Structure 1
Amino acid sequence: MTGKSKKEAKTDAQPMTGVERLGLRISNMINSPRAQERCSALIHQLDTDTDEAWDEVMGMLGDTDGFTLTFQDEGDVLVEWERPTDEDRVLETGEIETVEEEASL
């Protein structure tokens, strides 16, 4: 067997930080079909979210181009964005034509 045993490999795994856990939760909320349809998501701070993690993730969201944050009186945050246009669409690999450049002399 090469390297570490399965049991040793499991103990090397680092638990998620509060920022990572909160970021993943918010990412899932923003990427949900309902939020994508509405181009908005209402985010709320859970009791398990530290103020430090909340502030850091809200700062990252606020710095993200295309997102507008509206802080609600109850402490929730409404994240809104514009619906992507066809020009914003990400092309799949098969949709890209290969262009060959002529060698410069």
Structure 2
Amino acid sequence: MIGEEGKLGFIYDDTEAVKFYSGQSQKYMWHFWGEAEQLQGYPLQVIGTKKETGEQITVFKASALGGAINGADAHHPSVMALPSAGLWRLDAYIGEKFYGSVVVEIHEAH
């Protein structure tokens, strides 16, 4: 799992099966930990920011989080694709509030 322990993250181990490649969509299951009133009933939005350029994109949006899974208090499946190689910070917002970040390395597509 990559992310902030006890807060948010998704399963990722940098193997070829789950490695991020620029422009290629991949499925990831986001996991969230916290109180129900922080997590349930609010929309989720993930914004990506590229470290080298400051470029920002909306990675995905969801109307609400699902319930508990794999020991987490809430979850949401996603299909994510980032447009270019480099380091990207993925900032998760639940409702209007910043919830946490995950930093990922995007590799050049081959």
Q: What is the TM-score when the length of structure 2 is the normalising length?
A: 0.30
- Considering only CA atoms, is the larger Rg found in Structure 1 or Structure 2? 1
- Bigger RCO (CA 8 Å, 6+ sep): 2
| Greater percentage in strand | 2
| Greater percentage in helix | 1
